[in-house]
């Protein structure tokens, strides 16, 4: 189709019928002949749109419950023929094939089908579209002459362009539609491949295709000179997560670093059943606490490191009430300043839900009101919806690394006490908290917890002793009587010696070093308790 040629014939066959009647009516008013199939033809006919049935074009009835209807030379010949190639034109004439200038197709809802609880194999297979992707690919390959429309959001653009151009679609638009069409079919095939791989129980197949779709372009990446965009997995398992959280009204656009930090905070707070609060700065938790009261959990989490909390991310596993919002605002006010905080603001607050009064307070409270803070609402927690099959993806230049998500936390039945002194019940509670948090801190990692709150974090050091030193220095007097967690085993007893000098009373670590006994002996010498988990939690 040249720049000025008109769309004379369109084929419309859609699963999502949003706006399709109005689209077809607009095409007909511009003199376009409509071919249609099955349910789409019925919907258009009932709306008074004159349609040519697909069987009238092919000479064959739709058959096999609609599995076979558009897979025919008179359809694909009409899509693939090069209108400026004499041989193609002759083949069309000799075989009674009429060109199709526009195809409007969206695909069977495979991803929505398999996301439904109780989806059977038969349901999934029947929602694998064959004819639709075939037409999309044929039309997209021949975009020089054919416009391929794959989404209701494109209808208005096409209609307006045709009105402005004498019934034709411009070269630039057809090329853009083709690019989007191939992205659609690639993502569709990736979703099918991924689901079938999951059904087969194969963790790492020879080829992996991950279907993602762009959410929005970001202001920039980690640094202002880097461009960035935000993509979501096309398949939504229903797991509460940052990717599918709803940003409440107000607040500036969320940034690349905000998303990374918010994900780190939210994945940690999801670990807890009891009311929990997490404060994250630069991908590492600087505060975390649990309590029977979410407001007290927040106060304890914030107090762990008021300096690092400035400009951080707040995550909660319970709704943000007006009382909790008041406590957040007071982080800047009375009790926040008493702790030596020079001020406080949060970049993001993420939680299952927000009471309207809490949103109003956060936005408008005098001396603290932050219209720019992003409020992300995830919906209620449901640990049964955690997607164990989703990959943890890391990028390297020239490739990517895939691994299973680290979903192991505290396994009470696997905990082994290796010292003469056993942990007290409260120490065991604090060991569990420290071990849960250590999993979410960059290695090498030491975390200190006391009275159900983190009091010190040593993150990302090249040796474990320095990590311990940082955690103890942050905890100050709170280190005495605290419990320590290490993300990996102690190759030497130096961390234990350091901990004992600070008054730490119990340690949790994976165990497994050749020198485990030296660390155990050092604990016994200082009347400390030590438990092994048998698992490590490196995070690079």
Residue 360 Cα distances to 185, 294, 356, angstroms? 44, 19, 6
In CATH, what number is assigned to the domain containing residue 474? 3.40.140.20
**Residues 417 and 364 placed together within one structural domain of the fold:** no
Domain encompassing residue 258: 251-383
Statement: residue 368 has pLDDT above 80: no
Residues 438 and 378 both lie in one domain? no
Q: Are residues 13 and 156 in the same domain?
A: yes
Same domain (yes/no): 420, 370: no
Letter string b/e over residues 120-153, b meaning 16 or more CB atoms within 10 A of that residue's CB? eeeebeebbbebbbbbbbbbbebbebbbbbbbbe
The catalytic site residues sit at 141, 282
> Of 364, 383, 402, which marks where a domain is finished?
383
Average pLDDT on 391-407 reads 92
Report the range of poorest mean pLDDT among 33-42, 315-324, 431-440. Answer: 33-42
Q: What percent of the chain has pLDDT above 90? A: 64
Evaluate whether residue 444 is within a structural domain: yes
Q: Does residue 104 lie in a domain region? A: yes
Asked if 359 and 246 count as a contact pair (C-beta separation under 8 A), the reply is no
d(C-alpha 352, C-alpha 350), whole Å:
7
pLDDT in tens, 96-146: 888 899 999 988 888 888 888 888 888 888 888 888 889 899 999 999 999
- pLDDT band per the 50, 70, 90 thresholds, residue 2: very low
Strand order in the sheet with 9-14: 52-53, 33-36, 9-14, 102-106, 147-149
Q: Kindly tell me if the per-residue pLDDT of 4 is higher than 50.
A: no
Phi/psi at 217 (5° precision): -80, 140
Q: Where are the alpha helices (DSSP H) in 60-170?
A: 73-80, 86-94, 110-115, 121-126, 131-141, 155-164
Q: Which structure tokens are listed for 213? A: 């779709």
Tell which residue, 19, 46, 50, 17, has the closest CA to residue 34.
50
Residue 335, pLDDT score:
55
365 DSSP β-pair partners: none
Q: Are residues 180 and 39 in the same domain?
A: yes
Instruction: Please say which residue of 156, 175, 199 terminates a domain.
Output: 199
Enumerate long-range contacts of 200-203, CB under 8 Å, 24 or more apart.
203/404
Helix (H) or strand (E) segment spanning residue 392: strand 391-396
Considering the domain architecture, whether residues 301 and 367 belong to the same structural domain is answered as yes
If asked whether residues 502 and 429 sit together in one domain, one would say yes
Q: What pLDDT score does 332 carry?
A: 64
Task: Kindly state whether residue 474 falls inside one of the protein's structural domains.
Answer: yes
Of residues 47, 27, 45, 33, the one with CA closest to residue 155? 27
Cα–Cα dist 73/98, whole Å: 11
Domain with residue 159: its CATH number is 3.40.50.1380
Q: Which residue has the higher pLDDT, 269 or 202?
A: 269
> Cα(440)–Cα(540) distance, rounded to whole angstroms?
10
Residue 178 sits in the same domain as residue 261? no
- 481 contacts 499 by C-beta, under 8 angstroms: no
At residue 396, the pLDDT reads: 92
**Is the pLDDT reported for residue 272 higher than 80?**
yes
In a domain, 86, yes or no: yes
Specify if 378 maps to a domain.
Answer: yes
Q: Is 266 helix (H, G, I), strand (E, B) or coil?
A: helix
Task: Indicate whether 275 belongs to any domain.
Answer: yes
Helices 516-525 & 494-502 angle (0-180, nearest 10):
20
85 lies in some domain: yes
Nearest-angstrom CA–CA distance, 9 and 39: 19
**pLDDT surpasses 60 at 366:** yes
Residue 3 in domain: no
**275-311, pLDDT tens digit by residue?**
999 999 999 999 999 999 999 999 999 999 998 998 9
Give, as one character, the DSSP assignment of residue 19.
T
Enter the pTM of the model.
Answer: 0.83
- Are residues 433 and 368 located together in one domain of the fold? no
Does residue 296 sit in the same domain as residue 164?
no
Instruction: Examine the domain organization and report whether 89 and 136 are in the same domain.
Output: yes
User: Which one is predicted more confidently, 214 or 262?
Assistant: 262
Please give the structure tokens belonging to residue 386: 């955690």
Mean pLDDT score of the chain, rounded to an integer?
Answer: 90
In this structure, the answer to whether residues 155 and 264 fall within a common structural domain is no
Q: How many domains does the chain have?
A: 3
């Amino acid at each position: 189709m040249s720049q000025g040629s008109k769309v004379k014939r369109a084929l419309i066959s859609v699963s999502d019928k949003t706006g399709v009647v109005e689209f077809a009516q607009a095409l007909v008013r511009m003199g376009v002949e409509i071919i249609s199939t099955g349910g789409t033809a019925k919907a258009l006919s009932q709306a008074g749109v004159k349609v040519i049935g697909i069987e009238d074009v092919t000479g064959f009835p739709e058959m096999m419950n609609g599995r076979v209807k558009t897979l025919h030379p008179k359809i694909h010949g009409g899509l693939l023929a090069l209108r400026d190639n004499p041989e193609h034109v002759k083949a069309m004439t000799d075989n009674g094939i009429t060109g199709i200038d526009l195809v409007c197709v969206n695909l069977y809802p495979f991803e929505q089908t398999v996301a439904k609880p109780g989806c059977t194999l038969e349901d999934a297979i029947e929602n694998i579209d064959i004819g639709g992707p075939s037409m999309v690919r044929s039309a997209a390959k021949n975009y020089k002459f054919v416009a391929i429309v794959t989404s209701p959001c494109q209808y208005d653009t096409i209609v307006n362009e045709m009105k402005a151009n004498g019934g034709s679609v411009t070269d630039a638009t057809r090329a853009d539609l083709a690019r989007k069409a191939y992205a659609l079919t690639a993502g569709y095939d990736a979703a099918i491949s991924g689901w079938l791989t999951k059904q087969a129980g194969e963790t790492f197949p020879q080829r992996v295709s991950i279907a993602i779709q762009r959410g929005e372009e970001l202001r920039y990446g980690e640094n202002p000179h880097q461009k960035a965009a935000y993509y979501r997995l096309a398949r939504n398992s229903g797991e509460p997560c940052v990717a599918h959280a709803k940003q409440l009204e107000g607040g500036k656009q969320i940034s690349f670093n905000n998303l990374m930090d918010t994900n780190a905070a939210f994945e940690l707070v999801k670990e807890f059943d009891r009311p929990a609060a997490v404060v994250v700065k630069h991908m590492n938790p600087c505060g975390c606490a649990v309590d029977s009261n979410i407001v007290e959990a927040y106060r304890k989490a914030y107090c762990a490191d008021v300096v690092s909390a400035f400009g951080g991310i707040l995550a909660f596993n319970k709704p943000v009430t007006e009382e909790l919002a008041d406590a957040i605002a007071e982080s800047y006010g009375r009790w926040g300043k008493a702790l030596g905080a020079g001020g406080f603001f949060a970049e993001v607050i993420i939680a299952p839900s927000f009471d309207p009064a809490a949103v109003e307070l956060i936005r408008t409270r005098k001396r603290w009101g932050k219209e720019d803070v992003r409020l992300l609402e995830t919906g209620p927690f449901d640990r049964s919806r955690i997607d164990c099959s989703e990959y943890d993806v890391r990028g390297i230049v020239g490739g990517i690394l895939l691994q299973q998500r680290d979903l192991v936390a505290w396994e009470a039945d696997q905990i082994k006490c290796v010292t003469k002194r056993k942990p007290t019940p409260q120490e065991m509670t604090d060991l569990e908290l420290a071990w849960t948090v250590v999993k979410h801190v960059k290695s090498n990692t030491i975390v200190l917890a006391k009275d159900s709150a983190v009091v010190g974090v040593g993150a990302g050091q090249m040796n474990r002793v320095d990590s311990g030193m940082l955690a103890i220095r942050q905890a100050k007097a709170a280190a005495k009587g605290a419990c320590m967690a290490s993300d990996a085993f102690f190759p030497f007893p130096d961390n234990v010696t350091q901990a004992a000098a600070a008054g730490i009373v119990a340690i949790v670590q994976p165990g497994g070093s050749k020198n485990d006994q030296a660390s155990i002996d050092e604990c016994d010498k200082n009347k400390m308790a030590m438990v092994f988990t048998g698992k490590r939690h490196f995070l690079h």
